[in-house]
């Protein structure tokens, strides 16, 4: 998509979520940050998005920066998301980027010695680009930014690295889900810098309701879309996450 073209949409594949997005889904080519607390279903969200794409003829690339691919695939299989055939047929391609975290501090590329961080970012973008081009992917998931950010302890560096990552992946024209941790889960919380830079933001959190804890999903931001902004309950079910768009949490 040329960024000045009229928005086109892709169904998210998350049951019930499109109803919060003008019944259309995600604008094609957007970079969308999905933030959630530990165990909130970020990885499930990402793989469900890719699985649905495959069912509809859109190939996808999954980049894992923390969990091993085998463990991720096994966990979602338990929810009924079976990616085996799509992996075999080349509809889904996995970038196992977890070793990036363990490369030495200084890396020699030809005669030039560069710092670990530069190498990691350049290598990551190059690997993602290769995988996307190889299978002509239309969907991309990065799981998670948290592991990527660990290498950048200073706030300004982190922001610059994230911008560079976005600049690297945006020309690939994929609809991209960037998974990351929600650092503060209250409704009145400080914003995280990723939220300002992304085209869309979705939040997965646990909330108290009538002395019970419910999982809630909220579309905080989606540029160009008249989306619902309220938190709605969601559940883990057969096939992944299911959102209940007519039920309220607050
Ligand atoms: N079969 C299932 N039925 C119900 N809930 C499940 C099932 N399988 C997993 N879960 C829930 O999913 C959570 C893990 O989902 P997922 O790995 O997608 O979360 P995550 O946000 O990526 O976690 P992390 O923060 O570890 O990366 C578990 O903590 C559990 O609550
Ligand atoms: Mg995860």
pLDDT digits (tens, 9 = 90+) for 82-139: 999 999 999 999 999 866 555 555 555 455 555 565 667 888 899 999 999 999 999 9
Q: Where are the domains of the chain?
A: 9-184+192-243
DSSP label at residue 15: B
Start-to-end C-alpha separation, the chain:
37
- Backbone Cα Rg of the chain: 18
Pairing of strands 92-96, 60-64: parallel
Query: How far is residue 88's CA from residue 142's CA, in Å, rounded to a whole number?
Result: 21
Q: By the 8 A CB rule, do 60 and 91 touch?
A: yes
Question: What confidence score (pLDDT) does residue 246 get?
Answer: 98
pTM, full prediction: 0.93
**Which two structure tokens, joined as six digits, stand for 242?**
């299911």
DSSP string, 163-195: HHHHHHHGGG--EEEEEEE-S--SSS-PPPHHH
- Indicate which atom in ligand 1 lies nearest the CA of residue 38: 25
Question: What confidence score (pLDDT) does residue 112 get?
Answer: 53
Ligand 1 mean position, distance from CA 226 (Å):
30
CATH fold group of domain 9-184+192-243 = Rossmann fold (3.40.50)
Q: By the 8 A CB rule, do 72 and 96 touch?
A: no
Question: What confidence score (pLDDT) does residue 131 get?
Answer: 97
Question: Which residues of the chain have a pLDDT value below 70?
Answer: 1-4, 98-119
Question: What confidence score (pLDDT) does residue 120 get?
Answer: 76
Q: Closest Cα to residue 218, out of 10, 27, 34, 41?
A: 34
Q: Which residues have CB atoms below 5 A from the ion given as ligand 2? A: 42-43
């Amino acid at each position: 998509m040329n960024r000045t073209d009229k928005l086109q949409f892709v169904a998210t594949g998350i049951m019930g979520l499109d109803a919060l997005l003008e019944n259309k889904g995600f604008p094609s080519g957007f970079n969308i940050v999905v933030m959630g607390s530990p165990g909130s279903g970020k990885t499930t969200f990402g793989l469900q998005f890719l699985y649905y794409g495959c069912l509809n003829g859109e190939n996808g690339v999954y980049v894992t920066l923390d969990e091993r691919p085998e463990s991720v695939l096994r966990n979602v299989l338990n929810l009924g998301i079976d990616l085996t055939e799509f992996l075999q047929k080349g509809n889904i391609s996995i970038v196992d980027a977890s070793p990036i975290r363990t490369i030495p501090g200084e890396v020699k590329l030809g005669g030039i010695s560069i710092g670990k961080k530069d190498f990691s970012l350049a290598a990551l973008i190059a690997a993602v680009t290769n995988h996307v081009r190889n299978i002509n992917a239309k969907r991309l998931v990065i799981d998670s930014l948290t592991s990527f950010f660990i290498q950048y302890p200073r706030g300004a560096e982190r922001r610059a690295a994230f911008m560079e990552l976005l600049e690297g992946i945006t020309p690939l024209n994929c609809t991209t889900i960037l998974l990351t941790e929600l650092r503060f889960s209250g409704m009145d919380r400080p914003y995280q810098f990723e939220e300002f830079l992304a085209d869309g933001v979705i939040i997965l959190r646990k909330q108290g309701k009538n002395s019970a804890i419910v999982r809630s999903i909220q579309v905080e931001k989606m540029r160009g879309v008249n989306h619902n902004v309220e938190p709605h309950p969601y559940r883990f079910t057969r096939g992944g996450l299911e959102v209940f768009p007519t039920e309220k949490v607050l």
